[in-house]
């Protein structure tokens, strides 16, 4: 569908107002049971870098912002600058850890894909989807859908430590 | 916390492997009850632009990818190029509409912030958080938390048509 036709879909505003020009879709927040386990997964398996951590002692939770940037030299060194930078970037991941959940064997978060449904998944695009999936396999990452499963042979879904689905795809290999 | 200390948090890998350098945190997918209502909200209120739409007739659902870019001239005109471009960008929003939910008065998606919890929110950062919140108010957008509510006076949360929470903040005005 052409860009012109997309702007004529029911509901779509003809022209976003100028005041929204500086708006940035900055981050997505998910709750995680065990922060160390999730930090291992997002940094080692997917290459994210933590750029900010904040404890809320009284409310007993911690947040960590992570970015996925091949060139880490773009990340400011100064703490205040780095936080302002992170909040102005698109594609930031926020992990929220409510203290103590990691010690409860029966505790689990809901990934949104069984009832009651809502949130669906995150997606990480990669330069080579086959190589990426082979690597995830070698690392023991669980798959929700392998490339060869189902009809859509160009996408896979892996699961993070909380069971959230992460779509893996290669730009230019999706038919649309 | 310094960048060096952040990389020493429990679980964080010392140095992401080189193979993850081309990985991009591309999109977040949420299911929406009424696509036209959500497209109105995300384009008119927040300034998103739809860049790809795909119908899955047999499975009876439609997806729309949206980006939030002040400079719309960066969006490729050609459909194939635009899809490949969109899938290589950070900060894309995917809306999934399961056909027919809009006609069921009792149908509602789960926003992840009541039991069973999991996904928390999206965040849009803005150049002027007070002006943005005043505008949302004038547009009749419901607030989950106004700037003046609670302890964190520099952030607000609005709700999208499905009740998903969207944090609104201004980079540089968050203390960290």
Banded pLDDT at B15 (limits 50, 70, 90): confident
Boundary residue ending a domain (A65, A90, A109): A109
Rounded Cα distance between B166 and B33, Å, is 17
CB contact under 8 A, A164 and B118: yes
Which whole number is the average pLDDT over A104-110?
A: 98
In three-state secondary structure terms, B74 is: helix
- Whether the pLDDT of residue A176 is over 70: the answer is no
The 10 Å Cβ neighbour count of residue A22 is 15
Which whole number is the average pLDDT over B48-77?
A: 95
Query: For the residues of A23-61, what is the DSSP string, one character each?
Result: -EEEEEEEE-S-HHHHHHIIIIIT--EEEEEEEETTTTE
Looking at the structure, tell me whether residues A99 and A127 fall in a common domain. no
Looking at the structure, tell me whether residues B134 and B159 fall in a common domain. yes
Looking at the structure, tell me whether residues A97 and A81 fall in a common domain. yes
Looking at the structure, tell me whether residues A143 and A176 fall in a common domain. yes
- Whether the pLDDT of residue B176 is over 60: the answer is no
What chain B residue is nearest to A170 in terms of C-alpha separation? B87
Residues of A in contact with B130 (CB under 8 A): none
Which H or E run includes A37?
helix A35-40
Structural domain count of chain A: 2
Which of A72-76, A116-120, B83-87 is the least confident region? A72-76
CB contact under 8 A, B11 and A91: no
Rounded Cα distance between B164 and B110, Å, is 8
Residue A2 falls within a domain, yes or no?
no
Check which CATH number belongs to the domain holding B124 and give it.
3.30.720.110
Which whole number is the average pLDDT over B19-23?
A: 94
Looking at the structure, tell me whether residues B66 and B105 fall in a common domain. yes
- Whether the pLDDT of residue A143 is over 80: the answer is yes
Cβ-nearest to B16 among A26, A47, A126:
A47
Check which CATH number belongs to the domain holding B94 and give it.
3.10.180.10
- Structural domain that includes position A61: 24-109
Residue A127 falls within a domain, yes or no?
yes
Residue B36 falls within a domain, yes or no?
yes
Q: Which residues of A84-104 are buried (b: 16+ CB within 10 A; e: fewer)?
A: bbbbbbbbbbbbbbbeebbee
Which whole number is the average pLDDT over B97-108?
A: 98
Higher pLDDT, B149 or B15: B149
Question: Complex ipTM above 0.95?
Answer: yes
DSSP A19: G
Looking at the structure, tell me whether residues A99 and A139 fall in a common domain. no
Looking at the structure, tell me whether residues A33 and A104 fall in a common domain. yes
Looking at the structure, tell me whether residues A91 and A55 fall in a common domain. yes
pLDDT score for B175? 62
Looking at the structure, tell me whether residues A149 and A94 fall in a common domain. no
Which whole number is the average pLDDT over B4-25?
A: 93
Residues of B in contact with A29 (CB under 8 A): 119-123, 167
Do the annotations mark residue B97 as ligand-binding? Answer: no
Residue B5 falls within a domain, yes or no?
no
Boundary residue ending a domain (A109, A137, A156): A109
- Whether the pLDDT of residue A161 is over 90: the answer is yes
pLDDT score for A160? 98
Looking at the structure, tell me whether residues A104 and A141 fall in a common domain. no
Which whole number is the average pLDDT over B38-49?
A: 98
- Whether the pLDDT of residue A142 is over 80: the answer is yes
Which whole number is the average pLDDT over B159-176?
A: 90
Percent share of chain B, pLDDT over 70: 99
pLDDT score for A15? 82
Boundary residue ending a domain (B54, B86, B109): B109
Which whole number is the average pLDDT over A134-145?
A: 98
Q: Which single residue is written with the structure tokens 């930031």?
A: A92
CB contact under 8 A, A11 and B35: yes
- Whether the pLDDT of residue B145 is over 80: the answer is yes
Residue A16 falls within a domain, yes or no?
no
Rounded Cα distance between B103 and B114, Å, is 25
pLDDT score for B155? 97
Residue A10 falls within a domain, yes or no?
no
- Whether the pLDDT of residue A174 is over 80: the answer is no
Residue A7 falls within a domain, yes or no?
no
> What does pTM read for this prediction?
0.97
Residue B6 falls within a domain, yes or no?
no
B131 token code pair: 């002006």
Looking at the structure, tell me whether residues A121 and A77 fall in a common domain. no
- Whether the pLDDT of residue A17 is over 90: the answer is no
Looking at the structure, tell me whether residues A40 and A75 fall in a common domain. yes
Q: Which of B52, B24, B105 is nearest to A89 (CA)?
A: B24
Judge whether A89 is closer than 8 Å to chain B, CB to CB.
yes
């Amino acid at each position: 569908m052409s860009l012109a036709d997309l702007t004529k879909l029911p509901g779509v505003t003809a022209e976003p107002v100028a005041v929204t020009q500086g708006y940035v879709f900055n981050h997505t927040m998910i709750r995680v049971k065990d922060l160390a386990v999730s930090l291992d997964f997002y940094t080692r398996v997917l290459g994210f870098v933590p750029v900010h951590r904040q404890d809320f002692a009284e409310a007993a939770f911690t947040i960590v912002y992570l970015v996925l940037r091949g060139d880490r030299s773009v990340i400011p060194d100064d703490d205040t600058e780095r936080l302002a930078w992170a909040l102005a970037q698109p594609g930031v991941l926020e992990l929220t850890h409510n203290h103590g959940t990691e010690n409860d064997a029966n505790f689990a978060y809901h990934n949104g894909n069984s009832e009651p449904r809502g949130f669906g998944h995150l997606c990480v695009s990669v330069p080579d989807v086959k190589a990426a999936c082979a690597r995830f396999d070698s690392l023991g990452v669980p798959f929700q859908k392998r490339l060869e499963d189902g009809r859509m042979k160009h996408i896979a879904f892996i699961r993070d430590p909380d069971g959230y689905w992460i779509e893996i795809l290669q730009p230019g290999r999706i038919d649309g």
